[in-house]
Chain A
Amino acid sequence: MTVVTDDTLPVTTRAMRDEMIVFAAMAALLVIVPWSGIYPFFVMQALCFALLACAFNLLIGYGGLLSFGHAMFLGTAGYCSGHALKVWGLPPELGIIVGVAAAFVLSVVTGYISIRRQGIYFAMITLALSQLLYFIYLQVPFTHGEDGIQGIPQDHLFGIFDLSKPTVLYYVVLLGFLGGFLLIYRIINSPFGEVLKSIRENEQRAISLGYRTDQYKLLAFILSGTLAGFAGSLKVFVAQNASLTDVHWSMSGEIVLMTLVGGLGTIFGPVVGAFVIIAMQQYLASFGQWVTVIQGGIFVICVLTFRRGVIGEIAHYFRRSL
């Protein structure tokens, strides 16, 4: 089950130091965005997708499980947060909790079902489950079908931070992203993460060493799904709507694409990939359906020639893990 490349170096202190330097540089760059003249809405959107892709990468890059249905966590958390904020009138912090809790419950249920099969079947099962959810959301009244939940309010977070101000909202989203990113980083480097990697490399051997691999995979799935839900809840404040697009299979495909472009199983790859893909969609928006064609083309080129992704290639060149 080696999805990822050969450069799975042990986490040495040197690698840790490199990663911390890159993380600090990334955080510093992101902090100064509001003064740079870059459209903050674009960066906020990219940050939400970056966190989503990082959560997805936790599963594929470190657990070797390709989920083709991660949009279901994005969409579910979005709908539930949106409903809680708009209809129940809950404050933002509780709205986020509702969305994340919904994603947690969903990931427990879908994880329990899908980890019963491996590899290619796992991908097909997650895709089918997310399609099942798509049809449910199309029919139940609270999602408002094709219209989605529109005009979700941006209230005061903790009663203090006014989320309707773009700069405040930007820093809240940035903080959410950095927190989620560090949590994933911590998980990857924990004993749990090490066992997960061993399952990816050779599940039979992990079983023979006495690990209950199903439990590890399920926990990885739950962590990944819940964090993806957190990204979905943050996105509600940025986009101010929750719609069927977020649950559609094409969204799941985009998440895969982002991670693939940046580098499967790299720490910073999904972030880079998310920015690349979101920027591409922004600049090519006027080309209509050709964007789909270009995205498909990128998939093909990545798989055929560029399997390590941007960060994976850089890391391979410098013989570091990033």
Chain B
Amino acid sequence: MQALYAQLLVGLINGSFYALLSLGLAVIFGMLNIINFAHGALYMMGAFVAYFLLNLAGINYWLALLIAPIVVGIFGMILERTMLQWLTGLDHLYGLLLTFGIALVVQGVFQNYFGSSGMPYAIPDELKGGMNLGFMFLPVYRGWVVIFSLVVCLATWFLIEKTRLGAYLRAATENPTLVRAFGINVPRMITLTYGLGVGLAALAGVLSAPINQVRPLMGADLIIVVFAVVVIGGMGSIMGSIITGFALGVIEGLTKYFYPEASNTVVFVLMVLVLLVKPTGLTGRAA
């Protein structure tokens, strides 16, 4: 039973990353009409920024949690201003190809300097150790990752669905020309949206650094799983992305316990099943 709970926890943690990443992908797709293939590379950059902050500047985890998303977010906004914005009006596929190229460049540069092996990032003192919940032993850091991710996801949902800024954003997703006519600077909103989506990816990167180590290719395989999550959940709803992300993480965790051989593939198999039964994805809007 202990092992089952442990795998469930691992599943919830992976689910947190799926949720944070697919949330960012959905927000970016809504505004930019681009599937951001560089999302995994930017997730990796988030972890590396935290690593540099700690080892070069002695800046701790808590500040890294704030600084890394901002640094990577600014990097993302520069990418959007210098490259992505020129793709407006072209077929979606060019956005995918461009961001794939960016991902190759970013991952290649990091691989050159850091090889393929992982570098450890220590769990902050405040979150070390664990507590006994009676039915299982919970490492504090892992519990923190799940709860904090959930809070960030819900905050993002609140920002987009319940605030005035979010209303502008949703309106601009539906009809950018009309929103511009009301005097709102839509290009700046697009840039900020990309920065926000990318910042969420970087935040996931910082959270995962103490668990999964800091590796140049840590995001490369993850992004493909997240794509499958996005296909399953659809990109129509923010809450849909969050729920699908966590749910698939849990299913993956359960698979690790009951049939470990399939744990790598279960998300892809589920994607196939969903496509066969309900091709538009679970949250349903046709693209």
Tell me if B265 is interfacial: C-beta within 8 Å of chain A: yes
B residues engaging A (CB < 8 A)?
29, 35, 83, 86-87, 90-94, 96-98, 100-109, 111-112, 220-221, 224-225, 227-228, 230-231, 261, 264-265, 268-269, 271-272, 275-276, 279-280, 287
Chain A residue at minimal CB-CB distance from B230: A124
State the Cβ distance, B3 to closest chain A Cβ, in Å. 21
Q: B221: which A residues are within 8 A, CB to CB?
A: 131
Instruction: Choose among B29, B93, B227 the residue that contacts A66 (Cβ–Cβ < 8 A).
Output: B93
Given contacts A121-B231, A132-B268, A304-B86, 7 further A-B contacts (CB under 8 A): A113-B272, A116-B276, A131-B224, A136-B265, A292-B104, A295-B104, A303-B98
- Establish whether residues A299 and B231, one from each chain, have CB atoms under 8 Å apart when the complex forms: no
Tell me if A29 is interfacial: C-beta within 8 Å of chain B: no
Would A120 and B224 be within 8 Å (CB), given that A113-B275, A293-B109 are in contact?
no
- Establish whether residues B102 and A300, one from each chain, have CB atoms under 8 Å apart when the complex forms: yes
Chain B residue at minimal CB-CB distance from A287: B112
Instruction: Choose among A3, A114, A128, A304 the residue that contacts B83 (Cβ–Cβ < 8 A).
Output: A304
Instruction: Choose among B108, B231, B271 the residue that contacts A292 (Cβ–Cβ < 8 A).
Output: B108
Tell me if A149 is interfacial: C-beta within 8 Å of chain B: no
Q: A290: which B residues are within 8 A, CB to CB?
A: 108, 112
Tell me if A25 is interfacial: C-beta within 8 Å of chain B: no
For the complex, give the distance between the alpha carbons of A267 and B265 in Å.
37
Would A296 and B108 be within 8 Å (CB), given that A124-B35, A131-B268 are in contact?
yes
Instruction: Choose among B86, B97, B264 the residue that contacts A260 (Cβ–Cβ < 8 A).
Output: B97
Q: B105: which A residues are within 8 A, CB to CB?
A: 292-293, 296-297, 300
For the complex, give the distance between the alpha carbons of A136 and B227 in Å.
19
- Establish whether residues B96 and A120, one from each chain, have CB atoms under 8 Å apart when the complex forms: yes
Instruction: Classify the interface of chain A: helix, strand, loop or mixed.
Output: helix
Instruction: Classify the interface of chain B: helix, strand, loop or mixed.
Output: helix
Q: A288: which B residues are within 8 A, CB to CB?
A: 112
State the Cβ distance, A94 to closest chain B Cβ, in Å. 31
Tell me if A36 is interfacial: C-beta within 8 Å of chain B: no
Tell me if A168 is interfacial: C-beta within 8 Å of chain B: no
Chain A residue at minimal CB-CB distance from B116: A289
- Establish whether residues A303 and B279, one from each chain, have CB atoms under 8 Å apart when the complex forms: no
For the complex, give the distance between the alpha carbons of A298 and B263 in Å.
35
Chain A interface bracket (under 10, 10 to 19, 20 to 34, 35 or more)? 35 or more
Tell me if A91 is interfacial: C-beta within 8 Å of chain B: no
- Establish whether residues B268 and A128, one from each chain, have CB atoms under 8 Å apart when the complex forms: yes
State the Cβ distance, A139 to closest chain B Cβ, in Å. 6
Chain A residue at minimal CB-CB distance from B276: A113
Taken residue by residue from 251 to 267, chain A's Cβ proximity to chain B (1 for < 8 Å, 0 otherwise) reads as 00100100010000000
Chain A residue at minimal CB-CB distance from B227: A124
Q: A139: which B residues are within 8 A, CB to CB?
A: 261
Most central of B29, B87, B264 by chain A CB within 10 Å: B264
List the 3 closest pairs (A to B, CB-CB), nearest first: A299-B101, A296-B104, A292-B108
Tell me if A117 is interfacial: C-beta within 8 Å of chain B: yes
Q: B272: which A residues are within 8 A, CB to CB?
A: 113, 129, 132
13 CB < 8 A contacts A-B: A2-B91, A113-B276, A117-B275, A119-B93, A120-B29, A120-B92, A124-B227, A128-B231, A132-B269, A253-B104, A256-B97, A293-B108, A299-B98
